[in-house]
A and B are shown apart, each in its own frame.
Chain A
Amino acid sequence: METDDVPLDDKAKRMRDLLSSFYAPDPSSTENAPSNPGTLDAINTTSFDADQYMNLLIQKSNLEALLQRHVEMAAEIKNIDTDLQMLVYENYNKFISATDAIKRMKTNIVGMEANMEQLLDKIMSVQSKSDGVNTSLFEKRERVEKLHRTRNLLRKVQFIYDLPARLEKCIEAEAYVDAVKFYTGAMPIFKAYGDSSFHDCKQASEEAIAVIVKNLQGKLFSDSESIQSRAEAAVLLKQLDFPVDSLQVKLLEKLEQSLGDLQLKTNDIENASMESNDPKQGKVSDSVHITAHEGSVRGFAEAISAYRVIFPESEEQLIKLVQDVVVKNFETTEQYVKGRISSANLLCVLRTIWTDVLLMDEVLSEAVLPVFSLEAAQIALKQHVASSFNYLLQDISDALLRVNVSSKEAAEEHPLQVALEASKKAVLQGSMDVLLDFRQLLDDDLQLLVQLRDFIIDWVQEGFQDFFRALYDRFLLLSGRNSSSRQDQGLTGAHGEKVLAGLVLVLAQLSVFIEQTVIPRITEEIAASFSGGGARGCENGPAFVPGVICRIFRSAGERLLHHYINMRTQKVSTLLRKRFTTPNWVKHKEPREVHMFVDLFLQELKESASEVKQILPQGLARKHRRSDSNGSTASSRSNQLRDDKMTRSNTQRARSQLLETHLAKLFKQKVEIFTKVEYTQESVVTTTVKLCLKSLQEFVRLQTFNRSGFQQIQLDIQFLRTPLKETVEDEAAVDFLLDEVIVAASERCLDPIPLEPPILDRLIQAKLAKWKEQNLISP
C-alpha cells in the first residue's frame, strides 16, 4: 500500500501527518500557538472565533482583498475537504487488510496438532532404543576399566621390584640424580607397604641408597670433584633427607682447619721481613714465600666459594669465618707491631694481608672484608705509630742514661758531652728516621693505606705532639724534679747524685736543642710530607702544634737549668750547713789555717765547671763581659769603694766598718745578685757561685762568733777570693757577696777584731803552697 502512495508524495505525507495527529494522544500539540485572536493568522488555532475573525477581516481589508480572501478561503476549504475524504478512505483500507490477515491465520492453524503428536512418538522411540544400547554395553566397559587399573598397578609393582636393580645400574652409571628421583618416587609406597609385601625390595633399595649416600658424601668431600657436582651431591643428599647440617658443620670444620695454614705466623712475618731486608736473596725467597701463601689463600677462597654454592644459606658462618681469619691476621700483626719494626716490614705484612683480603672479598663480598680490614688496619697502624714513638722515647732515654753507666766505668773523658751528643743524635736522627719511616707508609700505593692516608697523617702529627709531651715528662722524671714519681724511678736514685746533676744539665741543654733545632726541622718535614690530614675535624686545628711544644721545651730548659744549679748549690749548702752548725763558734780557737771546707767548696765548683764545660757553650769574651756586667757603671764605683774599705778594714775596727758598709750601701747601686741564667758556661757557674755565697752569708748570720771564729771566717773568705774570681764572669757581684759574708760575720761577732793582714797573708800563702803540692801529687 505504501508503494502506492509514493506518487502522491506530498499529499500522502500530509495525510499521514494529519492521521497521526489525530491519533496522537496529546491534543496539546497545537496549543503552542496561543496566538492573538485579534490577528488573521489565528485561523488555525483552537481559540479561533469566526465572528471576530470576520469583523477583523472586514475592518482591515478592502473589497478587493475581501474578494480575494474569499476565493482563497474557498480553495482552502475545498482542499481540506478532500483531505478528510482521503483520510477516511485510508482508514478503512487498513482495517480491511487486517481483517484479511486474521482470516488467513485461522485457516493455517487447523492441521498442526496432529503433526506434533507424531513428532513426540518418534522421539520416545529413539530414547528407548538408546537406553537399550547403553545397558547392553555397560558391563564390558566396566571390565575394560578394571583391567586398565590392574595393569597400572602391576606396572608400579614391577617398578618397585626393579628398583634395586635399577639403582644398582644408576650407581654403576653414577646417575645419582635418576637414582634419587626413583627412590624418592618409590618412597611413599615403601612407607605404606614397606613392612609387609615389599620388605625385601625396600631393604635392597635402601641398601642401594645407602651406597649412593656414601658415594655422594664422598663426592661432597672430595676436593677433586667439580664444584657443580659437589653442589649436586649436596642437593641430592638433602633430597634423601640426609642430615645435611652435620655435613655442613663437618665441612666448615674442614675449612676452619685449613685456616690454620692460612694464618700469618709471627715467624713467617719475621722471615718475610728478614728476607725483604736482605736485598740479595730477598727477592727469590720472598716471592716463593708469597706465592706459597697466596696459593693457600687462593685455595681457601675457592673452597669458600664452593661451600657457598653447596650450602647457600651458610653465608653467615662463612662471613664469620673469613672475618676470623682477618682478625687473627691483624692480631698477629698487632703483636708484631708491638715489637720494633720498620714501616717497610709492616707494609710487607699489610700488603700480604690485603691481597688475602681482596682474594677473599672476590668470593665473599658480603663479608665486607675491605671495610672490616680497613678498621683493623687502622688500629694496627695506629699502634705502629704509637710504638714507634715509644721506642724513640726509649732510645733517647737510653742514650741519656748511658751517662750513668759510662761514668761508672770512667773510661771516657767527657761522659756528659758524649751523652749529650748521643742524645742529640738520638732525638734528631731518631725523629727523622721515624718520619722517613712513616713516609714509606704514605708513599705506598696499597689501597688500604691510601684510604687511611689522612688518618696516618693525623696520627703522625698527634704522635709527635704526644711524643714531645712524653719526652718532657721523661725529662722531668729523669731530672728527679717530679717529686711524686721519684720513688718509682729506681734507676735515677740508684746512681749517685753526682751523675744525676750532670744528667740534668744534659737534659737542659737537650731541651734547648730540641726547641731550637729539632722542632723546626720536624715542622718543616711535616709540612713537606705530612700536610693535609684533617680527618679529625678542623675545629681542633692541626694535631702537631710546634709553638706549644717549643714553649714547653723552652720552659723545660729553663727549669732544668735552674734545677741543675739548685742541685749543685744544694750540695754546697749541705757542706756549708755542716760547717756552720757543728763547731761551737763562740768558743772557737784561733785560726791556724784555711778551713778544709773551702777545699771541698772549690772541689764542688770544679766539678760543676767541668760538667758545664762539656755541655754548655762558652759565653761571650770574658773581658767584654766584665765591663758589661750586671753592676754596670756602678760596679766599678763600688769596686773602688770596696777596695778602699777593705784596705782600711784590715786596720780599723769592725764597728766603723759596719757603719761604713751601710753608708756605702746607701751610695752605691744595689748589686743585682740574682740575674737571669743564660745557657753559657760562665753564667751557670757564676749563678752557682753567687747562690752558694749567699747561702754562706745566711749561715753566718745565724751564728754568733767569738773573735777567733770571726777571724777564721775572714781567712776562709779571703782565701776564696782569688780562685772564685778566676771562675766567675761577674766579679763585682762575687766580690760584693764575699764582703757581705765578712760583714755578716763581723756583725754576728762579740768582739770583731780582724786578723792582721800579714798573718792573713801568711796563712793564705801557706794554704796555696799546700794546694800546689797537692796538685802536684795528684794532677
Chain B
Amino acid sequence: MQGGSSGIGYGLKYQARCISDVKADTDHTSFITGTLSLREENEVHLIRLSSGGTELICEGLFSHPNEIWDLASCPFDQRIFSTVFSTGESYGAAIWQIPELYGQLNSPQLERIASLDAHVGKINCVLWWPSGRHDKLISIDDENLFLWALDCSKKAAQVQSKQSSGMLHYLSGGAWDPHDINAVATTCESSVQFWDLRTMKKTNAIEHAHIHNANYDMKKNHILVTAEDESGIHIWDTRKPKSPIQELPGHTHWTWAVTCNPEYDGLILSAGTDSTVNLWMAPTSVEDEAITESIAESPAQQADPLLNSYSDYEDSVYGLAWSSREPWIFASLSYDGRVVVESIKPFLSRK
C-alpha cells in the first residue's frame, strides 16, 4: 500500500490487459491502451501525460470493434498501432491509423490500414521492430510465426514468410531483438526459441518452462529477460542458453510481464498477478558463479535487487510500459482498467 499517492491514475471503463508507449510521439509522453470486454463496446484510449507531469489527459478515444488482447504502437508513426482482438470465438489482428481530426473526442472511427488475416488459431501478439523504421511486422499465433511486409501508403500488408513452430510448441508471445533486425525470440510452454527471419529457421533455444513474457535489453546486446509462473524473473545471455546469468525472485504469484528500461542499465520492471509492480536493479556484469557464490557468502551483504514494490493495485497487473521519451516514467495497467503512471526518479538518485 505504500507509495499510493505517487502514481497518477487514469480509469478505463472496462477491464484491460495491454498498454503501449507511443514511441513515435517525441513531443509528449503518451501511452495507448485498449479495453478487454467481451460484451461491451471496446475502446482505445490515447493518453498523454500533461506537461507538468501531474495529470493524465485523454487525448483520443476511439471505439474498437472487439476486445483487445494485444496492442502495440508503431515505433515510427505515432498514429499507427496494431491490435490483436477476439470476438470470443475467433481472433483477428489489424493495423490501425488514428484519424487526423482527433482531439474532438467524439469517438471517431479508427481507420483500418491492414488486416493481418492469415491466422487460423489464437493470435498472441504483433511485434514491431523496436529500434526504428522498418517495414516489416511479426505476428505470432499459437502455432505459427508470420513475417509481414507492411506498406502504409498502399494500406496493405502481405505475408512475406511463415514458419510453423513445430509440433507440441504452443507459442505464447515473443520479442524482437532491438539490436538485430533479423532475430526474434518466441516464448512457448517449455522454452524460448530464437529465429532468424532471413531463413525463418530456429537458431537456438532456451529450455525453460512456463515463460510468460520475454523482453530484450535495449542497451546491451544478447541480454534477454524472461518472466515465469513460479520461478520469477531470469536474465539470460542468449549466447549461453544453458543457465541464466541471473535470477530475481519475481512475484508472489505469477510474474506476468517484464520489461527493461530503455535508458538505464539494469533497471527492470515486472508486473505480477499478485497485484504489484516491482522495480528491480539487476547488478551489472556479474558472472554466474559469482552470484551463487555471493548468495552463499552472506545474503545480508548482497544488495537487495528489489528497489521498490508498487502495490497500490486492486487486481492483477498485466500491462506495463516504459516511456521512451522520459525513461524514468512507466505506465502500468491492472485488470480492472486502471492506468497508473509512476516516476522512478527517487530510486534513480539512490543508485
Chain A residues near B (Cβ < 8 Å): 469, 472-473, 482-484, 548, 551-552, 555, 566, 569-570, 573, 581, 586, 662, 665, 670, 673-674, 691, 694-695, 698, 701, 704, 747-750
User: How far apart are the CA atoms of A124 and B336 in the complex, in Å?
Assistant: 163
Give the Cβ gap from B274 to chain A, nearest Cβ, in Å: 5
Indicate if B15 sits at the interface (CB-CB under 8 A). Answer: yes
User: How far apart are the CA atoms of A570 and B316 in the complex, in Å?
Assistant: 19
Q: Knowing A566-B230, A569-B230 are in contact, say whether A551-B300 is a contact too (CB < 8 A).
A: yes
Give the Cβ gap from B34 to chain A, nearest Cβ, in Å: 16
Contacts of B300 in A (CB 8 A): 551
Whether the pair B229, A570 counts as a contact (CB closer than 8 A) is: yes
| Contact with B88, one of A482, A484, A551, A586 (Cβ below 8 angstroms) | A586
Q: List 9 A-B contacts (CB under 8 A).
A: A469-B296, A483-B243, A484-B288, A551-B300, A670-B314, A694-B253, A698-B273, A747-B15, A749-B38
User: How far apart are the CA atoms of A665 and B254 in the complex, in Å?
Assistant: 22
Contacts of B316 in A (CB 8 A): 698, 701
Indicate if B351 sits at the interface (CB-CB under 8 A). Answer: no
Q: Knowing A694-B253, A694-B273, A704-B89 are in contact, say whether A472-B299 is a contact too (CB < 8 A).
A: no
Contacts of A555 in B (CB 8 A): 299
Whether the pair A674, B38 counts as a contact (CB closer than 8 A) is: no
Contacts of A674 in B (CB 8 A): 252-253, 274
Give the Cβ gap from A210 to chain B, nearest Cβ, in Å: 75
User: How far apart are the CA atoms of A214 and B247 in the complex, in Å?
Assistant: 84
Give the Cβ gap from A751 to chain B, nearest Cβ, in Å: 9
Whether the pair B230, A484 counts as a contact (CB closer than 8 A) is: no
Whether the pair A551, B298 counts as a contact (CB closer than 8 A) is: yes
Whether the pair B253, A484 counts as a contact (CB closer than 8 A) is: no
Whether the pair B243, A665 counts as a contact (CB closer than 8 A) is: no
Whether the pair B89, A586 counts as a contact (CB closer than 8 A) is: yes
Q: Knowing A747-B15, A749-B38 are in contact, say whether A551-B299 is a contact too (CB < 8 A).
A: yes
User: How far apart are the CA atoms of A670 and B252 in the complex, in Å?
Assistant: 16
Contacts of A548 in B (CB 8 A): 298
User: How far apart are the CA atoms of A694 and B336 in the complex, in Å?
Assistant: 16
Indicate if B231 sits at the interface (CB-CB under 8 A). Answer: yes
Contacts of A552 in B (CB 8 A): 296, 298-299
Q: Knowing A552-B299, A698-B316, A750-B38 are in contact, say whether A573-B274 is a contact too (CB < 8 A).
A: no
Give the Cβ gap from A676 to chain B, nearest Cβ, in Å: 10
Q: Lowest 7 CB-CB distances: which A-B pairs, in order?
A: A674-B252, A484-B243, A566-B230, A704-B88, A555-B299, A694-B253, A570-B230
Whether the pair B274, A665 counts as a contact (CB closer than 8 A) is: no
User: How far apart are the CA atoms of A542 and B243 in the complex, in Å?
Assistant: 36
Give the Cβ gap from A657 to chain B, nearest Cβ, in Å: 14
Mark B291-323 against chain A: 1 for CB-CB distance below 8 A, else 0: 010001011100000000000001010000000
B21-74 at interface with A (beta carbon < 8 Å):
38-39
Indicate if B244 sits at the interface (CB-CB under 8 A). Answer: yes
Besides the known contacts A566-B230, A570-B230, A670-B314, 16 further A-B residue pairs in the complex with CB atoms under 8 A apart: A469-B296, A483-B247, A484-B288, A548-B298, A551-B300, A552-B298, A569-B230, A570-B210, A586-B89, A665-B314, A694-B273, A695-B253, A698-B316, A701-B316, A750-B39, A750-B88
Mark B227-252 against chain A: 1 for CB-CB distance below 8 A, else 0: 00111000000000011100100001
| Contact with A484, one of B292, B298, B335 (Cβ below 8 angstroms) | B292
Whether the pair B296, A472 counts as a contact (CB closer than 8 A) is: yes
User: How far apart are the CA atoms of A581 and B316 in the complex, in Å?
Assistant: 20
Whether the pair A691, B38 counts as a contact (CB closer than 8 A) is: no
Give the Cβ gap from B31 to chain A, nearest Cβ, in Å: 22
Contacts of A704 in B (CB 8 A): 38, 86, 88-89
User: How far apart are the CA atoms of A25 and B221 in the complex, in Å?
Assistant: 128
Contacts of B288 in A (CB 8 A): 484
Contacts of A695 in B (CB 8 A): 229, 253-254
Whether the pair B314, A673 counts as a contact (CB closer than 8 A) is: no
Give the Cβ gap from A697 to chain B, nearest Cβ, in Å: 8
User: How far apart are the CA atoms of A472 and B336 in the complex, in Å?
Assistant: 43
User: How far apart are the CA atoms of A670 and B314 in the complex, in Å?
Assistant: 8
User: How far apart are the CA atoms of A698 and B212 in the complex, in Å?
Assistant: 12
Give the Cβ gap from A694 to chain B, nearest Cβ, in Å: 5
Contacts of B244 in A (CB 8 A): 483
Q: Which A residue sits closest to B276, measured CB to CB?
A: A674
Give the Cβ gap from A681 to chain B, nearest Cβ, in Å: 20
Contacts of B230 in A (CB 8 A): 566, 569-570, 573
Contacts of A469 in B (CB 8 A): 296
Contacts of A691 in B (CB 8 A): 252-253
Give the Cβ gap from A242 to chain B, nearest Cβ, in Å: 67
Give the Cβ gap from A626 to chain B, nearest Cβ, in Å: 23
Q: Which A residue sits closest to B14, measured CB to CB?
A: A747
Mark B59-99 against chain A: 1 for CB-CB distance below 8 A, else 0: 00000000000000000000000000010110000000000
Q: Which B residue sits closest to A751, measured CB to CB?
A: B39
User: How far apart are the CA atoms of A183 and B45 in the complex, in Å?
Assistant: 126
Max chain B Cβ within 10 angstroms of own Cβ: one of A555, A665, A747: A747
Give the Cβ gap from B108 to chain A, nearest Cβ, in Å: 28
Give the Cβ gap from A568 to chain B, nearest Cβ, in Å: 10
Contacts of A551 in B (CB 8 A): 298-300
Give the Cβ gap from B156 to chain A, nearest Cβ, in Å: 30
Q: Which A residue sits closest to B170, measured CB to CB?
A: A581
User: How far apart are the CA atoms of A664 and B247 in the complex, in Å?
Assistant: 38
Contacts of B292 in A (CB 8 A): 482, 484
User: How far apart are the CA atoms of A670 and B1 in the complex, in Å?
Assistant: 10
User: How far apart are the CA atoms of A509 and B170 in the complex, in Å?
Assistant: 39
Give the Cβ gap from A408 to chain B, nearest Cβ, in Å: 26
Q: Which B residue sits closest to A577, measured CB to CB?
A: B189
Give the Cβ gap from A323 to chain B, nearest Cβ, in Å: 39
User: How far apart are the CA atoms of A361 and B298 in the complex, in Å?
Assistant: 48
Contacts of B229 in A (CB 8 A): 570, 573, 695
Contacts of B273 in A (CB 8 A): 694, 698
Give the Cβ gap from B45 to chain A, nearest Cβ, in Å: 19
Contacts of B89 in A (CB 8 A): 586, 704
User: How far apart are the CA atoms of A552 and B288 in the complex, in Å?
Assistant: 20
User: How far apart are the CA atoms of A711 and B336 in the complex, in Å?
Assistant: 23
Q: Knowing A566-B230, A573-B230, A698-B254 are in contact, say whether A747-B38 is a contact too (CB < 8 A).
A: yes
User: How far apart are the CA atoms of A555 and B297 in the complex, in Å?
Assistant: 12
User: How far apart are the CA atoms of A573 and B253 in the complex, in Å?
Assistant: 11
Contacts of B170 in A (CB 8 A): 581
Contacts of B314 in A (CB 8 A): 665, 670
Give the Cβ gap from A85 to chain B, nearest Cβ, in Å: 135
Contacts of B274 in A (CB 8 A): 673-674, 694
Give the Cβ gap from A406 to chain B, nearest Cβ, in Å: 28
User: How far apart are the CA atoms of A332 and B170 in the complex, in Å?
Assistant: 62
Give the Cβ gap from B334 to chain A, nearest Cβ, in Å: 12
User: How far apart are the CA atoms of A749 and B67 in the complex, in Å?
Assistant: 13
Q: Which A residue sits closest to B231, measured CB to CB?
A: A566
User: How far apart are the CA atoms of A674 and B296 in the complex, in Å?
Assistant: 27
User: How far apart are the CA atoms of A101 and B128 in the complex, in Å?
Assistant: 161
Whether the pair B38, A748 counts as a contact (CB closer than 8 A) is: yes
Q: Knowing A570-B230, A670-B314, A674-B252 are in contact, say whether A473-B39 is a contact too (CB < 8 A).
A: no
Q: Which A residue sits closest to B17, measured CB to CB?
A: A701
Contacts of B298 in A (CB 8 A): 548, 551-552
Give the Cβ gap from A514 to chain B, nearest Cβ, in Å: 15
B256-299 at interface with A (beta carbon < 8 Å):
273-274, 288, 292, 296, 298-299
Give the Cβ gap from A489 to chain B, nearest Cβ, in Å: 13
Give the Cβ gap from B220 to chain A, nearest Cβ, in Å: 21
Give the Cβ gap from B283 to chain A, nearest Cβ, in Å: 17
Give the Cβ gap from A467 to chain B, nearest Cβ, in Å: 13
User: How far apart are the CA atoms of A283 and B253 in the complex, in Å?
Assistant: 67
Contacts of A483 in B (CB 8 A): 243-244, 247
Give the Cβ gap from B190 to chain A, nearest Cβ, in Å: 11
Max chain A Cβ within 10 angstroms of own Cβ: one of B88, B231, B335, B336: B88
Contacts of A665 in B (CB 8 A): 314
Contacts of B254 in A (CB 8 A): 695, 698
Give the Cβ gap from B299 to chain A, nearest Cβ, in Å: 5
